[in-house]
Amino acid sequence: MTHTNASASDYAVSTHGLCKRYGRDTALDQVGLRVPDGAVYVLVGVNGAGKSTLFKLLMNLERPDAGTAEVFGLDTGRAGSEVRAQVGYVPDRQDAPYRSMTSARLLRHAAAFYPKWDHAYADHLTHALGVPPQQRVGGLSKGETRRLQLVLALAHRPPLLLLDEPTDGLDPVVRRRALALLAEHLADAPTTVLMSTHHVHEVESLADHVGVLRDGRLVAQMTREELRRTVRSYQLEVPDGWAPGELHAVELRRSSAGRDVRCTLVGEEQQVTQRLTASGARVRQVSTLALEDAALAFLSEDAS
């Protein structure tokens, strides 16, 4: 096997210099996403950071202005239909199609497009998520529509799930049930997940990869372990007039009260501590951050 073959198949999703503009607005800027096969990759970013655009480009629903994207080694622009056959997609929009069909009829319709559709599993999901099968799609509540979209995405057991805010509009109980079903889904068959969510803490124990999108740029991308190891909160006691100096480059967030300074810094703990000590600060405590706090640190105002 040649090197290129190996690297292409190691990633479920990989993009190279992906750019997308809408008029003057830059939605995506040189995005190089790498989602390893089998990963649960969580994409973090504020609204308008480009998450939904990225999903649409991967589905070939829109065309990039520059760059390429591959899903399991298939170019999304050249093999759009083949790519979509690998994907279960929950779109950002929360309106279901064919409003006059019942949920059951819509599911039967969708089943025709996926030869691997698992009818029994679709029934199980419909039941577990509480989607009323005989209700017209147009009469479903926002949350019920979202649940129906989840069934549509999962029921053909695709190797890749693209979930754009999958738990948006769901109440907390259903959110947890949906994520539990997702965990079981992952146990049943090898599946790669790329998801965006506003509720990062909920996927804390599911995610093993994290990417942070900020103004269309992917400012951080690493494994959960790497994030835990290299993004930590340092509590310092500093002398009067202390300046962080070169540490500024790795600083994500800082708050201070008198001589107590708390800051979030990027880097191996040992090296960061050495540099802090050299700058005259005394490190009183170092603590790891929850996934959400670590990811959000990249979005704080101080982050460069």
Q: Site residues (CB under 8 A) for another protein?
A: 9, 37-38, 40, 56, 59-63, 72, 77-78, 80-86, 89, 91, 93, 96-101, 105, 109-110, 112-116, 156, 158-159, 176, 179-181, 183-184, 186-188, 190, 201-202, 204-208, 225, 285, 287-288, 290
To which residue do tokens 């494994």 refer? 223
Cβ closest to another protein, residue 28 vs residue 40 = 40
Cβ closest to another protein, residue 4 vs residue 304 = 4
Cβ closest to another protein, residue 286 vs residue 303 = 286
Which of 195, 214, 189, 231 has its CA nearest to residue 91?
A: 195
CB of 112 to another protein, least distance (A): 4
Residue 252: both structure tokens together: 């994500």
CB of 137 to another protein, least distance (A): 10
Residue 217: both structure tokens together: 């740029």
CB of 24 to another protein, least distance (A): 21
Task: Report the C-alpha gap between 153 and 147 in whole angstroms.
Answer: 10
CB of 256 to another protein, least distance (A): 19
CB of 101 to another protein, least distance (A): 7
CB of 245 to another protein, least distance (A): 27
Cβ closest to another protein, residue 160 vs residue 276 = 160
To which residue do tokens 């479920």 refer? 12
Cβ closest to another protein, residue 54 vs residue 244 = 54
Cβ closest to another protein, residue 289 vs residue 303 = 289
Task: Report the C-alpha gap between 167 and 150 in whole angstroms.
Answer: 9
Residue 229: both structure tokens together: 């190891």
